[in-house]
Structure 1
Amino acid sequence: MKQNRYIRQTSLKDFGPDKQQALRQARVLVVGVGGLGIPVLQYLNAMGVGCLGMVEQDVVEWSNLQRQVLYTESDLGKSKIQVAEEKLREMNSETELICHDTFLTRTNALEIISDYDLVVDASDNFPTRYLINDACVILNKPFVSGAIYGFEGQVSVFNYKEGPTYRCLFPSLPEKDNIPDCNTNGVLGVIPGIIGSFQALEAVKVITDMPGVLSGILMLYNGFDQSIRKVKFPAVVKNKDRTQLESNYNQPVCDSIPEVSFKRMLQEISRDSPKISLIDVRSTEELRMNPIEKAKHIPMQLLADSVDEFTDHQTIFFICQSGKRSKDAVRKLLPLLPDRNLYSVKGGIEAMKNGLENITKRDESDLP
């Protein structure tokens, strides 16, 4: 370890070389390499955490760039985790970086988390938060939680030194209709940076056993007036007795969604058959910036109500900016159109732009 690299930390009276060594020996898993995960990873990497694991399987798209500041326009369509690994390694070559190129699911959560001392939840959905909580309770691992919405954010530390779990504050997964959708409601670009930085600070405090950890305390941040409120909540003993994961966290099984490459989709569309259609599920704003020829525009929120518009089509391709929403579209419509061939276009428009038709690791197979 280069002696002067961390001197601004080791010279602190309440930090010093011992706490720096604790950082060096720590193994931290960050779930999500997006708006929250990026500042967490950048600061923990810069401050000298010895091992950083990352869980992510998304690609960079235009709508990420206003808040996910590690990525640039040249990264569009690329794997987030691969881009993050490369840039973090350039920032600090001493850090061990471990890439888990997957989404966290109930089948891999315990195996992945067991190898780390601390988890930072930088995910963007409730099912993953409950999954992380339950896995950490079973494995007796603390985790730092962060969430953002619009101009606001919140941070807390769960399962730390016999402290409360996530379920002590939020006992059960909210109903689907009550879950905010960031794609619809949005978030101010700087807010994830603020909340992610708070998460990084809490992670450092947990690792180095500093006082003031937000265990049993929910910190609420309001970007409008820069106010911070702290709400205390108690531990509920029964929530610590967990020995196994839930049978279902309502998480999508991504590997089961039929996909084709952009090139393969173009080949099929070029046949000009009335039984084949292409549905663009992006927002109206995205469509104006980059319309797709021969595609019918139906935004995600209107899909379920528009099924009658393409029930006569035997093969239907769905496309979005990165391939994520198009997979959600196929997932949503498979039960409604069981006798149709539904496909998500892998990597979406960014795959087309960057020549990444083979954006997934597996080879493209012929359509059935």
Structure 2
Amino acid sequence: MTGTPARAPGRPLVDPGPELTREELERYSRHLTMPQVGVDGQRRLKNARVLIIGAGGLGSPALHYLAAAGVGTLGIIDDDIVSISNLQRQVAHTMADLGRPKVDSAADAVARINPLVTVNRHDVRLTPDNAVEIFSGYDLVVDGADNFGTRYLVSDAAVLADIPVVWGSILRFDGQIAVFWSGHGPTYRHLFPEPPPPGEVPSCAEGGVFGMLPAVVGSVMVTEAVKLITGIGEPLVGRLLVHDALAQTWRTLRILPDPDAPPVTDLSGVEIACGLPAADAGPAAEEVVDADWLADRLERRARGEADFTLVDVRDDWERELVSIPGAVGVPLAAILADGAAALPIEIRNRDVILHCKAGVRSAQALGALRSHFALREETVKHLGGGIVEWIDEIDPTLPRY
């Protein structure tokens, strides 16, 4: 590693790198004129190695500004490919990148901005088996993950690698930013000791995200990363910055470490803590079906060998964009308000399989309908991975969104 992670907030995280070239003096002149950064700070940026988790909504502006600022090495970890629904907010990618690995598209975006930056492409999924090894090559992590499991994994792996995490989160119109640094302040687990119950917090895919919000939050995350690298200002260690884009407000909350929190000694418990919920926290195993099972049931229904109704609980515009053949549309809001009465009368006495985009809304609908089916011969189940799983496993020609 190029830095010294044991240093405290307020002191530079990274040692100065080689002298700046004439091209670098010209490129970074606006930094050099600022005494807080100057030549010394720019050499620290040149020597820094920053890992970005996810080349998506938050990762896109982060990698743009980190590259422009002159961070010498950027690592990008993402195993996804570019789809057209990404382009509303993931500004690292373009129409020409559709179907490409995001790490490749993101690397090209960095090269367009600053060819002096080295990019390490990690086209893999972050797991407990590879996290610490990957993290050990970097001075800090910028966490733009969009799910709780990865956030806990990033936090724990950073503790073991002894490096800070600049964390950001976005949903709809709201954003949050903090710096987590074990030994100097709280970690993500101190802010969120336990994952929320399944279905309580929608993902960006389910809940949506204001297209401009990632740029706002992502740029603040880069500001924190640069402050840590150069040792200037007061980083958000022990503080949570909360942004409401609709009200255009910012507020700061204090975060305190939990002295009774168990220490992180390995990553063996991450998948248990952040994986599948307990049976009483959501749908039971027998209530969840996968795409292959549903496809088989639909084929049997077409032959007259099965009798059930597939209910799509998404909004009208989503069903217009893409749907599973033979599904009946009943919006989740109607089911939550009216229960089984929201279902067409002719299907209330039949087996029902629910689906949405990714499984969150259909799990909620199942919970609302469970009591109706509890004392009946008919059953209610839901497609755990939603239409996203259907596209991945059954019909990849369908549009993604």
TM-score category (smaller protein): 0.7 to 0.9
Report the CA distance shift for 1:36/1:67 in structure 2 as closer, same or farther (over 3 A). Answer: same
Identity of aligned residues (%): 37
Q: 2:62, 2:218 within 8 Å by CA — same for their partners in 1?
A: yes
Residue of 193, 217, 220 corresponding to 1:195: 217
Residue 48 of structure 1: aligned partner:
70
Residue of 165, 179, 194 corresponding to 2:187: 165
Alpha-carbon offset, residue 104 of structure 1: 1.4
SS of corresponding position for 2:252: strand
Residue 250 of structure 1: aligned partner:
274
Q: 1:113, 1:135 within 8 Å by CA — same for their partners in 2?
A: yes
**1:76 aligns to 2:76 (yes or no):** no
Distance 2:198 2:220 in 1: 28
Distance 1:285 1:137 in 2: 43
**1:31 aligns to 2:53 (yes or no):** yes
Distance 1:115 1:51 in 2: 10
**1:285 aligns to 2:317 (yes or no):** yes
Q: 2:52, 2:143 within 8 Å by CA — same for their partners in 1?
A: yes
Alpha-carbon offset, residue 259 of structure 1: 10
Residue 100 of structure 1: aligned partner:
122
Residue 6 of structure 2: aligned partner:
none
Residue 156 of structure 2: aligned partner:
134
Alpha-carbon offset, residue 351 of structure 1: 5.9
Q: 1:36, 1:195 within 8 Å by CA — same for their partners in 2?
A: yes
SS of corresponding position for 1:215: coil
Report the CA distance shift for 1:194/1:275 in structure 2 as closer, same or farther (over 3 A). Answer: farther
Letter aligned with residue 19 of structure 1: G
Residue of 219, 233, 236 corresponding to 1:214: 236
Alpha-carbon offset, residue 82 of structure 1: 1.7
Distance 1:310 1:133 in 2: 46
Residue 255 of structure 1: aligned partner:
none
Tell me the matched-pair count. Answer: 334
SS of corresponding position for 1:177: coil
Q: 1:120, 1:144 within 8 Å by CA — same for their partners in 2?
A: yes
Q: Given the two structures, how large is their TM-score scaled by the length of structure 2?
A: 0.68
Q: How does 1:115-126 map to 2 (within 5 A)?
A: 115-126=137-148
Report the CA distance shift for 1:274/1:10 in structure 2 as closer, same or farther (over 3 A). Answer: farther
**1:57 aligns to 2:79 (yes or no):** yes
Alpha-carbon offset, residue 236 of structure 1: 2.5
Distance 1:152 1:180 in 2: 13
Report the CA distance shift for 1:68/1:348 in structure 2 as closer, same or farther (over 3 A). Answer: farther
Report the CA distance shift for 1:103/1:283 in structure 2 as closer, same or farther (over 3 A). Answer: farther
SS of corresponding position for 1:156: strand
SS of corresponding position for 1:29: strand
Alpha-carbon offset, residue 280 of structure 1: 9.4
Report the CA distance shift for 1:8/1:289 in structure 2 as closer, same or farther (over 3 A). Answer: same
Alpha-carbon offset, residue 192 of structure 1: 1.2
Q: 1:76, 1:350 within 8 Å by CA — same for their partners in 2?
A: no
For structure 1, which runs of at least 5 residues remain unmatched after alignment? 253-257, 312-317, 330-335, 338-342, 355-368
Pick the structure with greater CA Rg.
2
Q: 1:280, 1:297 within 8 Å by CA — same for their partners in 2?
A: yes
SS of corresponding position for 2:216: helix
Q: 1:121, 1:143 within 8 Å by CA — same for their partners in 2?
A: yes
**1:204 aligns to 2:226 (yes or no):** yes
Alpha-carbon offset, residue 197 of structure 1: 0.7
Report the CA distance shift for 1:274/1:144 in structure 2 as closer, same or farther (over 3 A). Answer: farther
Distance 1:300 1:348 in 2: 24
Q: Given the two structures, how large is their TM-score scaled by the length of structure 1?
A: 0.73
Alpha-carbon offset, residue 91 of structure 1: 1.8
Distance 2:393 2:105 in 1: 18
CA RMSD of aligned residues (A): 4.4
Alpha-carbon offset, residue 249 of structure 1: 4.1
Distance 1:349 1:66 in 2: 26
Alpha-carbon offset, residue 65 of structure 1: 1.7
